[in-house]
Structure 1
Amino acid sequence: MPVFARLIAPLLLAVVTLSGCATSTHLGRSALSRVAGRTYVLVGASSGFGQGTAIRLGELKANVVLAARRTDLLEEVAGKVRAAGGQALVVTTDAARPEQMEALAQAATSRFGRIDVWMNIAGVGAVGRFWDVPVADYSRIVDVNLKGVIYGSHVALRRFMAQGHGTLVNMGSVEAEVPLAYHATYAATKAGVLSLGRSLNEELRHAGRARTIKVATVMPWAVDTPFFQNTANYSGHADRMILMDGPEKVVQALVWVSLHPREELPVGWKAQMASTAHRFAPDLTETLAADIHRGELEKGTPTPATSGSVHTPTERGRGIEGGIRARRKAENAAYKAKEE
């Protein structure tokens, strides 16, 4: 960790301690029993958070509508949902195509009669200096991460308004509040998702629907999922971050917030720490985050330039976890040995 980071980290931790602890997302049996029979639409269900949440919802006997680009992988996940005790429907969907998002909603309601929870989880990213990443990649990132969330939110809220209830869950990131160097456009899209959720909640309040229709933005820290395997990369090194969380923490938060909606949910103490520190010292927090990320990239495995899965799905990253923490451990050992 850079000297600057070592010096300032205790101060930021003290700020968070004074501001309060992170919200617990533990669910008791009575809350979990409420999932059974509810219909969840998961956009981005093929791997990572989406796959983990789908399987967990299956264990809780939910109806799960699985949407993503990789049909074969969705069918595998659907099999796991059914084996766990839930019902599953596969709808191949590109989140950046509004007509496909509308077709997804129609398929869900045709099969299960209603949609109780809609989750916009799909996301792509690029790592590298802003001027080194092709603009075509940036265009696609905006299409999926921001426009896709707008499309999904639009079709979900229209149905919620018609049926009188529903919960919309959008996947944000701590980067929505603490923009991260070398993730510039990804961070910008997540800031847009956060702003969208805040605006929608106010409109629902004005419409007199705030008690029955909820919009939540979930904001995790860096998490060990296939996202880091499939991101576009023009940095020269494999992407990584310190203190990465396991995907199970975010899966639990997604299920929790579907039953206890809140406008914004930073997941875990690290996300809460970053969010709170940014409110007290925004420039300092952004400088610290940028320095840490640059230091992490320098230790990453040398990697050729790639557009990853931004434009076309890849065969890599078919699970919930990405193996990034194990890779990081090996990279750290190799980097230390090289320095010695």
Structure 2
Amino acid sequence: MSARPDSLRNLVVVVVGASSGFGRGAAIKLAAEGASVVIAARRKSMLDEMVSEIGSRGGSALAVEADVSDPAQVSAIAEAAIARFGSIDVWINNVGIGAIGYFWDIPIEDHSRLVDVNLKGLIYGAHAALRQFAEQGYGTLINTGSIDSEVPLALQNTYAATKAGVLSLSRSLNEELRLAGLDDIKVGTIMPWAVDTPWWTHAANYTGHEPRMAMMDDPEIVVDAIVRSCLTPKEERPVGWKAKASDMSHHLMPDLTERMSADIAKKESERGDDKASHTGAIYHPILDGMGVDGGIRARMKREDLAD
């Protein structure tokens, strides 16, 4: 069996959900550190641009078009990675779409789609990764959860439920790996606070307002946490002081923390500009939101100045 690499250089890293947000930022940073990256998402043209960008800087990248709600397409990501690079050292399950609004205002089809992508899609990725890791004797699986994994958030109901499932799965997998004696396979969960990425633009929205949240974090701190986890994964990694404080508060005062979080979510939502209901990018990819940063904080400043 091969040994676990001890540096980012020459790692083979699969990044699912790589066309924007955390995934894009992590893939570019990992490639800059010398890792070979396999980037997967629905927006193939954007992935191809990333491959060219990474290649122009001396890095190595492979693009795979995939919708993670289809297990065959997820398996194809792993197959392409093995065919090109011979192994997978790290698999980053950066999976997450949202639907914002009161639970009953969100169509049932949208709830179902969130489960298909955020939970089932992540399960498919974890399954493909762990089967490969078991064969080669080592590997790191990084699941992108949320502080919603610990603190259920009003107006993000099914999204929060799927992210709670992500954390539960990660915990179970680590115990099963221990029971099986697969001590050199690790599973970690990233748990950010609300972050300014294109997630907000891509989310379905039934609130009647532009999406927003208090004290959004910069995506760079989450990108750094993901990259750091490639070598030093933690079963639970709240990112930033707000996520850490929320996590601790929920353990000490769960009911109060949930009420406060809900009140903040509602208050912030009502401050956004008027917006007609839409399904965002949860069914089909859109051109809006192509970077790491989502531009949400800049919009919030404009809205606040207009009040």
What TM bracket, shorter-length normalisation?
Answer: over 0.9
Alpha-carbon deviations, 1:197-237, whole Å to 9, x = none? 00000000000112x10000000000000001111000000
Give the structure 2 partner of residue 88 of structure 1: 61
Q: Distance in 1 between matches of 2:290 and 2:252?
A: 39
Post-superposition shift, 1:93? 0.6
TM-score, normalised with respect to structure 2: 0.97
Aligned to 2:280: 308
Q: Are 2:141 and 1:142 equivalent residues in the alignment?
A: no
Q: Which has the higher helix share?
A: 1
Residue of structure 1 equivalent to 2:160:
187
Q: Deviations over 1:65-124 (max 9, x none)?
A: 010000001111112222233200011010111001111100000000000000010211
* In 2, Cα distance between equivalents of 1:83 and 1:34: 23
Contact 2:101–2:205 (CA<8 Å) still a contact in 1? Answer: yes
1:9 paired residue number? none
- Aligned residue among 182, 186, 198 for 1:214: 186
Partner Cα separation in structure 2 for residue 167 and residue 124 of structure 1: 23
Match of 1:72 in 2: 45
Partner of 1:232: 204
* 1:271 paired to 2:230: no
Q: 1:119-172 CA distances to partner (integer Å, 9 max, x unpaired)?
A: 010211000110000111111110000000100000000000000000000000
CA contact (8 A) 1:57 1:86 kept: no
Select the residue among 40, 44, 68 that pairs with 2:17.
Answer: 44
- CA displacement at 1:33 relative to structure 2: 8.3
Show structure 1 runs of 4+ deviating over 4 A. Answer: none
For residues 9 and 134 of structure 2, the distance between their equivalents in structure 1, rounded to whole angstroms, comes to 23
Contact 2:6 2:231 (C-alpha < 8 Å) held by counterparts: no
Within the candidate set 151, 157, 178, 2:130 is matched to 157
Q: Which amino acid aligns with 1:99?
A: A
Corresponding position of 2:33: 60
CA distance in 1, matches of 2:63, 2:51: 7
The letter of the residue matching 1:191 is A
What amino acid is aligned across from residue 187 of structure 1 in structure 2? A
Distance of 1:86 and 1:136 partners within structure 2: 40
Equivalent AA in structure 1 for residue 239 of structure 2: V
Corresponding residue pairs, total: 303
Larger radius of gyration: 1
* Alignment partner, residue 141 of structure 2: 168
Pair 1:255 & 2:230 matched: no
| In 1, Cα distance between equivalents of 2:273 and 2:147 | 25
**Aligned-partner Cα distance in 2 for 1:35–1:64:** 11
291, 296, 299: which one aligns with 1:324: 296
| CA distance in 2 between partners of 1:84 and 1:276 (Å) | 41
Identity value in percent: 54
Q: Report the Cα offset of residue 38 of structure 1.
A: 0.7
* Unpaired segments ≥5 residues, structure 1: 1-31, 336-340
CA distance in 2, matches of 1:278, 1:123: 22
Superposed CA RMSD in Å reads 1.1
Runs of 5+ consecutive residues of structure 2 not aligned to the other structure: none
User: Where do 1:100-139 residues align within 5 Å?
Assistant: 100-139=73-112
Aligned counterpart, 2:257: 285
Looking at structure 2, the residues matched to 180 and 267 of structure 1 have their Cα atoms a distance apart, in angstroms, of 17
For 1:148, give the aligned amino acid: G
Contact 1:69 1:93 in 2 (8 A): yes
What is the rounded CA distance, in whole Å, between the counterparts of 1:217 and 1:249 in structure 2? 15
Distance in 2 of aligned mates of 1:214 and 1:86 = 26
2:174: which partner in 1? 201
Q: Give 1:334 shift.
A: 1.5
The letter for the 2-side match of 1:213 is I
